[in-house]
Structure 1
């Protein structure tokens, strides 16, 4: 587990300070990156993971990647914000390894870290307050990060330190969704195995054989432990990987389908639309619109 945590990679996208009013009212927001808010004044509402959060002064808020969320401000509020990609070596998210809190009180040094990041990157602010426009030319931003790491090692390391500290405030020292110790011990590394083999054929019967149980029993265990059937989980993870590749690479749609383990492009397109509500081509086009 420690080795996996040590492989955590964080890539900054945006950071800035915003003054927001009643126009901050958006629904059906799903993004392939993580967002952090620090509210300095006023109130607003945020909904995700079946929970409504009343944003208030002096608190930080976390929105993981690939979760449905919505926003609403009935009056006025001010916030510092950060968006970034995070990934573990296997292609998993940190949120697959640890439970998280979504609301935590700000600490004095944390407030300074938000302000410091906006000072380091004054041109990373969001021009369009619509959260759906947050992914603005991520390929260019990630290319800038790479160039920046080569040209300014000190600032690159400081950025990584700031993001790691702020993210750490939300992480708890326990695995997520651990509802049954016996069940967990039966399939302890199945998520890692799936993540590392997304590009290969993944049959449920083969996964069941790996853990020496019947296919039906494996599916029941998986559903109880992770909240969905294994086939749907595999589909979802492949499409999440495809979303990331569509945002951050220049691979063709067909190449991306192959890279996430789906050889039939028509099936890839249908599955992508079923899960995201849009086609791969439209998804990529929307992510590259200037805000």
Structure 2
């Protein structure tokens, strides 16, 4: 009898019910955590690289971690929101192949789940500003994560259960392009190895040798099952890590380039610009604290 090991877990960051206005207007937001919104009144807009969605009452919206997002409200919007970190032992995100904003029709159970998680977690709103450039700082993450460590086991289980229930709604909707269970174990192992060794200069030859495959065959197999060539995937994950470090730490570009396995800052800068479309320095200025 085969056993499926459940390997995804999530930790609560913030949850609240808020009423927004035209000041909710932020561009190129890329956060290291997930967001789920339930809209109960008003109208606004979310847009990403390839997606433009109108936020409207009665719908749920999911923004996976590291998904570029523009937020715009012309007049009024009221929403329940939930923000949480993903924690997986192999570092492979549940939505790694679907970094786009998603929308589904809400059910009564979804609304009850939002109201319940808000009720059992008082004071877990952002309480500073609705501007991501203000509240996305490591010190604030640490503050909220420390609250998770202080909560009793029953509450931790209930929070986890509610997050999983809400996420399952998007999985049921068919939004996941490629199920990880469909990916060969050797490719999954390679993806995990990449995630855990982003500080190194990983080569395709090294990856192929680890799983006892010919380099060209491995590259074709990786492309078939991930949609990306190995080196493209490696560089994107390195830059994703760099974005996280720039959002949550005060490390220099040199320190970040070393931590993400680049030989020097110019190499890091050129790769970053190629993937993100702006330089690391410009990205950091764009996301500086505007409080």
Normalised-by-shorter TM-score class = 0.7 to 0.9
- Alignment partners' CA distance in 2, 1:218 and 1:43: 47
* Cα drift, residue 60 of structure 1: 0.7
Judge conservation of contact 2:25–2:73 (CA < 8 Å) in 1.
yes
User: Displacement, 1:146?
Assistant: 2.8
How many pairs align?
284
Alignment partners' CA distance in 2, 1:134 and 1:60? 25
Distance 2:72 2:82 in 1: 18
Tell me if structure 2 keeps the 8 A contact 1:222–1:230.
Answer: yes
1:40 aligns with 2:40: yes
Separation of aligned partners in 2, 1:163 and 1:33 = 13
Distance in 2, matches of 1:97 and 1:274, equals 19
Following superposition, the deviation at residue 203 of structure 1 comes to: 0.8
- Identify the residue that residue 73 of structure 1 maps to in structure 2: 73
1:5-25 CA distances to partner (integer Å, 9 max, x unpaired)? 43x332322222222334434
| Counterparts of 1:240 and 1:152, CA distance in 2 | 33
Match of 2:284 in 1: 283
**Which structure 1 segments of 5+ residues have no match?**
none
Query: Whole-Å Cα distance in 2 between the matches of residues 106 and 274 of structure 1?
Result: 38
Q: Deviations over 1:116-169 (max 9, x none)?
A: 333423252354334x43643333333442354235444333333322222222
C-alpha separation in 1, matches of 2:58 and 2:268: 44
* 2:125 alignment counterpart: 124
5 Å-filtered alignment, 1:1-291, equals: 2-3=4-5, 5-6=6-7, 8-48=8-48, 50-96=50-96, 102-119=102-119, 120-125=121-126, 127-130=128-131, 132-133=132-133, 135-150=135-150, 152-172=152-172, 176-178=176-178, 184-185=183-184, 188-189=187-188, 190-209=190-209, 210=211, 212-215=213-216, 218-248=218-248, 254-276=254-276, 277-279=278-280, 283=284, 286=287, 289=289, 291=291
Alpha-carbon contact 2:128-2:135 (below 8 Å) kept: no
Per-residue CA distance 1:229-250 (angstroms, 9 max, x = gap): 3222111111222333444567
1:261 is paired with a residue whose SS is coil
User: Kindly tell me: are residues 145 and 55 of structure 1, through their superposed partners in 2, closer, same or farther at Cα, counting changes over 3 Å?
Assistant: same
User: Whole-Å Cα distance in 2 between the matches of residues 89 and 24 of structure 1?
Assistant: 35
Label 1:165 to 1:101 Cα distance change in 2 as closer, same or farther (>3 A).
farther
Is this contact kept in 2: 1:177–1:226, CA < 8 A? no
**SS state at 1:104 partner:** strand
Report the Cα distance in structure 2 between the residues aligned to 1:188 and 1:65, rounded to whole angstroms: 22
Secondary structure, counterpart of 1:41 in structure 2: strand
- CA shift, 1:79, in A, is 0.9
TM-score, normalised with respect to structure 1:
0.77
> Which ranges in structure 2 are unaligned for 5 or more consecutive residues?
none
